[in-house]
Amino acid sequence: MTRPNILFIQTDQQMAATLGCYGATICRTPHIDALARDGVLFTNAYASSPVCAPARASLHTGYFPSKHGITTNIYTPGCAVHELPDHPSLLGRRLQQLGYQAGFTGKWHLGFGDAREEHPEYQAHVRDVPVLGWTSAPGALPSTRGFTGDDFPGHGGIGLDTPQYREWLRSCGRELTLTKHLELYPHNWEVTSGQDTSVTHFLTEQALGHMTAFADDGRPFCYLLNYWGPHGPYHAPTEYLDLYRDVKIPPWPSWNERQETKPSIHDAHRTETTAGWKWEDYEKLLRTYFAAITEIDDQVGRLMAFLKDRGLYDNTLVIFCADHGDSLGVHGGLTDKTLFMYEETNRIPLIVKEPAPSQKAGEREDAFVGTCDLYSTILDYAGLAKSEADRDGTSLRPLIEGTSAEWRDAIVTEGFGLDFLQHSQRALRWGRWKYVFNAGGPDELYDLAADPHEMRNLVFAPESAADLRAARERLDAWMTGHKDGLRERFRRLRLR
């Protein structure tokens, strides 16, 4: 088989439960569901960290955040590294070495580049804390880390104010118009100028243009398309909001959860904005979230049609995933991500379609996999030796092709806090169990077979003492094997 093309599609902050292929949902995702029928759907895929920048750095390095140093969002005090360091083993550099055309568009969030001091988002981050160490490393952008395509410094603010998007609108003779969609939430807008003026549509146009040039060149390509959606601020075109305006969305099972056995730090994500909200208020927010996801789903349909029209589909490895999940009212009104380690934020959607007719097409794979495995998988298919492609993760290829005899029996998600609130966490998933180490508060232990919505914290159940001890010893073994720097203090706190 000739070396495949690779198309990697990543959404930002998307729950796995929003996709029809993962189970019954009100959210409409027919094109992604169709991709799952052609590929393998991973039911136990987990983010390396439930925060944007750390998870994205794991994709580009193959390492957990505790090793690559981007431990929370860049240019905040809890982050150790603020610009992704250049190295021959970065994903983009490896692809270059293997003779691949490597392309990138969309959300980056791994640096500002060398012109960062003039960038308003950078200035907002360091205005009050001008720490020299934050500005001394060479600036990181896709174009300086092995990719061709688009540079969007920093987070990118969902793309609305980027010069590329504004120039694209001008070149199309279009103008973006927005109207406030939800008065009680400050970041919820309706795109009233048509779906073909949205940032999501723009990113797909960029990807199609770049992939057309790559295909014409004839060499294999790997293209990374990173949507800003459905992460807020929420911008949904009218034609997608119309699908959900009158739809009733039932409360999450954990909506009315009692909090007595849960860590109090979770309350940091019950915000002043949403304080006192009733379920009907979250329901309105979810309508926009679902509309944004359905818009992305249509773009996935456009991408698959392009591959098929160009005769590329059968020789393209397609990976669809999210960087991490979201909360949106679960567990008594939580918002955003991290500081808690629930399945809604740690577990990610992951679908992989082989670059050839698959023996496992349409199957569900229950093995425990994670973000670091994606680095190894892409480079394995690109032709890199396993000894070099495998790091903290390993290639998913045996699982995709159905040739695996052995696989890990557990996976970990790391947490380091968010913004100015630093909080060390490790969440371990294995079998029917989940254990969360919370350095500054009570731990959590859940039997997901009996309690799939994580509403009964067994840490305080006397009958679960032996299970709790076994969970801590299992996490200790994982930390030892992965050389986790938190291990010694974890032992002092939990294994004396």
Three-state DSSP class for residue 230: strand
Structure tokens that stand for 358 in this block: 């698959």
Identify each DSSP E strand in 192-297 by its residue range. 221-230, 234-237
Please indicate, yes or no, if residue 413 is contained in any of the structural domains.
Answer: no
The answer to whether residue 415 is domain-embedded is: no
Sign of the Cα pseudo-torsion (143, 146, 148, 151, in order): negative
400 with 464, same domain: the answer is no
Same domain (yes/no): 111, 166:
yes
Rounded Cα–Cα distance for residues 300 and 20 (Å): 14
- What is the edge-to-edge ordering of all strands in the sheet holding 234-237? 178-180, 188-191, 234-237
| pLDDT greater than 60 at residue 377 | yes
Q: What tokens appear for 385 in the block? A: 């030796």
493: CATH: 3.30.1120.10
Instruction: Give the pLDDT confidence score for residue 34 in this predicted structure.
Output: 98
Which conformational region is residue 222 in: left (phi greater than 0), alpha (psi within -120 to 50 degrees), or beta? beta
Residue 246: alpha-carbon gap to chain centroid: 29
DSSP state of 347: B
Q: What is the pLDDT of residue 128?
A: 60
Looking at 405, 439, 459, which one is the last position of a domain?
405
Comparing C-alpha atoms, which of 109, 75, 87, 82 is closest to residue 324? 109
Which region among 34-38, 73-77, 226-230, 300-304 has the lowest average model confidence (pLDDT)? 73-77
For residues 13 and 15, what is the distance between their CA atoms, to the nearest angstrom? 7
- Given the DSSP bridges, would you call strands 363-370 and 316-322 parallel, antiparallel or unpaired? unpaired
Nearest to 424 by CA among 404, 439, 444, 407: 439
- Please check whether residue 411 lies inside any domain of the structure: no
User: Same domain for 219 and 149?
Assistant: yes
* Domain closes at, from 380, 405, 430: 405
pLDDT above 80: residue 357: no
Go through the chain and tell me how many residues it has. Answer: 496
Residue 343's nearest CA partner among 281, 262, 413 is: 413
Amino acid residing at 233: P
- Indicate whether 410 belongs to any domain: no
Reported as a pLDDT band with limits 50, 70 and 90, residue 133 is very low
Q: Which domain holds residue 468?
A: 420-496
Considering the domain architecture, whether residues 432 and 375 belong to the same structural domain is answered as no
In a domain, 348, yes or no: yes
What is the arithmetic mean of pLDDT over 45-54? Answer: 98
* Confidence category of residue 132, pLDDT binned at 50, 70, 90: very low
Give me the pLDDT at residue 420, please. 86
pLDDT band of 69, cuts 50, 70, 90 = very high
| CATH number for 54 | 3.40.720.10
pLDDT band at 470 (very low <50, low <70, confident <90, very high): very high
Write the single-letter amino acid at 49: S
Give residue 159's region: left, alpha or beta (phi > 0; psi -120 to 50): left
What confidence category does residue 135 fall into, taking pLDDT thresholds of 50, 70 and 90?
A: low
Identify whether residues 337 and 436 lie together within a single domain.
no
